[in-house]
Amino acid sequence: MKHPLQLLAPVVLALLLTGCNPNELGIKVRPQSNTPGSTSGSGNGASVAITTKSGVAMVYVPAGSFTMGSDQGSPEEAPPHKVSVPAFLMDQVPVTNAMFEKAQLPNPSHWQESPKQPVERVRWRDAKQYCNERSRLEGLKPCYDEKTPEWDCDYAANGYRLPTEAEWEYAARGTSDGPYDFGSKDALRQYAWFAENSEAKTHPVGEKRPNSRGLYDMYGNVSVWCEDVYDPKYYATSPVDDPHGPPSPGKDVKRVLRGGNWKVSADLCRATFRQGERTGNTDACFSTDYCGLRCVRRIKPEELAQLQTNKNKG
């Protein structure tokens, strides 16, 4: 039996979709022009674009279930398995040079011609530091404990963090069961910068079409760090509910890197393609110039609804 608030959630979301109102977190909610008509998963409502207190555009991705992985790709993408993720906000674009510098962190990017180019050559821990800095900028509780060796993640905190691998794939696949949420590989040029069209460099974010959730550069430009430890066999044992990846082995850890990038072929831009990358934490001059990031933060539909209610009362 559903809680009354759960029954009200779609109504509240519909209310949210009708306006562009700042709430007490400084979030402006506006309708997402490219919201999906239906989803391959059981997403409870549509994606919504918002702007955070520090001016970052994010997309509300409703909670839902989907089939993660594929038996049509590489062995590590199998087996396809059912996964559920709670609702979350995800950056509409990868973190840019300008966004990274706003957090007063040393920008390691190879390409800095434009402030709108995505930041790259980011070590895994530096990506997490950016998340914490942005949380502090917005008065949110940082997710990462900087005093632990691997900067342990408090998933219950309301601050920013890297997406889990499941969150990333759920956001990327949007309405589709296939390898690209927009349909066939032939359309990839319209959605992504990858080896065939990038001219061997990154490009300002948001220049290509967004995916069905309204997220830009999900299939190309830079790959993004995820929170999970990379294990090619993880899908065989992954839990259904909100998987966070396998435990860290402590040494020589690889973390999940997701999404295509300027350097790779169309096949490696697939939404189900998985790769692990050394974190770069022991490297003074990390030179992997396709490693970027994109933040997420957990938010419940009730939280959005409550914020909207407070606004209306105010």
Partner 1 sequence: MQNGNRRALRLGANAGLRLAALVIMLFGVLRSSADPTPLRRNLKALPYKIAWECYVNGNWEICVMNADGSGKVNLTKTPGVNEHYPQISPNGKQIAFSVDNGEGREAVRTLWVMDIHGKHRRQIADHAREPFWSPDSKTLGYLPQEYAPFNVVDFYTKGMMFYDLATGKTTPHPNTEKLRHLYNPGFSPNGKWIVATVHAGMGFSHSIVLIEAHGDRILDLKIPGCRPRLSPDNKHIAWGPEDHELAIAPIDLASDTPTVGTWSLHIKDEKNKIYHINWSPDNRYVAFSRGPDGEGDLSKKGSFQAACEIIGVYAGGWNLYAVSAERTGAIDMEKATEADVTQLTTDGNSNKQPAWFSTRQSGRK
Q: Kindly tell me which of 149 and 239 has the beta carbon lying closer to partner 1.
A: 149
* Least distance between partner 1 and beta carbon 283 (Å): 6
* 285 lies in the binding site for partner 1 (CB under 8 A): yes
* 107 lies in the binding site for partner 1 (CB under 8 A): yes
Using CB under 8 A, pick the residue from 109, 117, 164, 308 that binds partner 1.
Answer: 109
Tell me how many degrees the CA angle 48-244-213 measures, rounded to the nearest 5: 20
* Least distance between partner 1 and beta carbon 58 (Å): 24
DSSP string, 236-250: GT--SBS---SPP-S
Structure tokens at 226: 């995820």
Task: At 222, give phi and psi (nearest 5°).
Answer: -130, 145
* 203 lies in the binding site for partner 1 (CB under 8 A): no
CA atoms of 218 and 258, how far apart (whole Å): 9
Number of residues binding to partner 1, judged by CB under 8 A: 23
Using CB under 8 A, pick the residue from 105, 185, 201, 209 that binds partner 1.
Answer: 105
* 108 lies in the binding site for partner 1 (CB under 8 A): yes
C-alpha gyration radius of the chain: 18
Name, in order, each residue with C-beta under 8 angstroms of 183's C-beta and a sequence gap of 6 or more. 176
Using CB under 8 A, pick the residue from 147, 184, 200, 314 that binds partner 1.
Answer: 147
CA atoms of 56 and 70, how far apart (whole Å): 33
CB 27 within 8 A of CB 307: yes
Residues 262-281 as x/- pattern, contact with partner 1 by CB under 8 A: -------------------x
* 154 lies in the binding site for partner 1 (CB under 8 A): no
CB 289 within 8 A of CB 258: no
* Least distance between partner 1 and beta carbon 198 (Å): 16
* Least distance between partner 1 and beta carbon 24 (Å): 27
* Least distance between partner 1 and beta carbon 269 (Å): 24
* Alpha helices, H only, 160-245: 165-173, 188-191
Touching partner 1, residues 33-92 (CB under 8 A): none
CB 99 within 8 A of CB 56: yes
Return residues touching partner 1 (CB under 8 A): 104-110, 112, 121, 125-126, 133, 146-149, 281-285, 287, 289
